[in-house]
Amino acid sequence: MNDLIFTPITLSTVADLALVLGASLICGLVIALVYRLGTEHPSKYMIITILTMPAIVQAVIMLVNGSIGAGVAVAGAFSLVRFRSLPGNSRDIVLLFFAMASGIAMGMGYVGYGALFTVVIAVVILLADRLVPSDHTKNSRLLKIYLPEDADYGSLFDDIFGEYAVSAVLDGVRTVRMGTMFELRYIVTLKDPKREKEMIDKIRCRNGNLTVSCGLFPADRAEL
């Protein structure tokens, strides 16, 4: 059993290469499924990236294995890469590193260890998704309210939030429109989503009928 997990494949035949490549793609598929099952609005391109990353990393590691100069060159190339997309999500970045680690294990010939590592970490992530409670529920909203620059917004909407919301937290304040207005961002958990319009109407009366926007709070807005 230990030999199966910790003894690397020599990667000296076409059959060995095919085995490692196939195992890398299977690990990528498992990690992509973890992403798909745990993400409310999965990205097609993120799925493709996670699916293919173990195989790509495995190929790179195989090519530079034993060559210090080539390894340094590849490390320099990877250092130029930036994770660029919509605002970064910590869970997505963890999955990318997960896929990369799996590919490194496969590229070094440790197919058994790479497969075991992939299965164990995938199970841990899925269990965490199910057992760790979310900070926000389906009743959570991201509420943006515009106010004149001379408005005292400290407790302006407390009575409205007390009537319609379980909780309301001021998430941020910024000036807009050349500093002539404030934009307040609240994280609101509604008591009854069906009364959302009533709450917005009362806020509009309070802020002089300026812009008010209320949308679903992103379930995975855990940014780095």
- Report residue 132's pLDDT band, with 50, 70 and 90 as the boundaries: confident
Which of these, 136, 197, 121, lies nearest to 168 by C-alpha position? Answer: 136
In a domain, 223, yes or no: no
From 30-39, 71-80, 170-179, the region with the lowest mean pLDDT = 71-80
Residues 11, 91 share a domain: yes
Secondary structure element (H or E) that encloses residue 164, with its range: helix 158-164
State the Cα–Cα distance between residues 169 and 5, nearest whole angstrom.
Answer: 50
Among candidate residues 131, 156, 180, the one where a domain is terminated: 131
List % helix, strand, coil for the chain (3-state, nearest 5).
55, 15, 30
pLDDT of residue 79: 55
Among candidate residues 100, 131, 162, the one where a domain is terminated: 131
Among candidate residues 131, 159, 177, the one where a domain is terminated: 131
Instruction: Give the mean model confidence (pLDDT) for residues 19-36.
Output: 94
Residues 144, 122 share a domain: no
Residues 123, 44 share a domain: yes
Residues 18, 115 share a domain: yes
pLDDT of residue 179: 85
State the Cα–Cα distance between residues 207 and 192, nearest whole angstrom.
Answer: 22
pLDDT digits (tens, 9 = 90+) for 70-124: 565 566 556 555 554 445 577 888 898 899 889 888 988 889 999 999 999 999 9
The number of angstroms, rounded, from the C-alpha of 101 to the middle of its chain's C-alpha atoms is 18
- Pick 216 or 175 by higher pLDDT: 175
Q: Chain-wide mean pLDDT for the chain?
A: 83
pTM: 0.67
pLDDT of residue 177: 87
State the Cα–Cα distance between residues 218 and 200, nearest whole angstrom.
Answer: 20
pLDDT digits (tens, 9 = 90+) for 138-165: 788 899 999 998 888 888 999 999 999 9
- For 64, 78, 88, 167, 190, the CA distances from 159, given in Å and listed in that order, are 65, 53, 35, 12, 14
The number of folded domains in the chain is 2
pLDDT of residue 88: 55
Task: Quote the tokens at residue 118.
Answer: 């992939």
* Domain extent at residue 76: 2-131
| Strand order across the beta sheet in which 140-148 lies | 165-176, 181-190, 140-148, 212-216
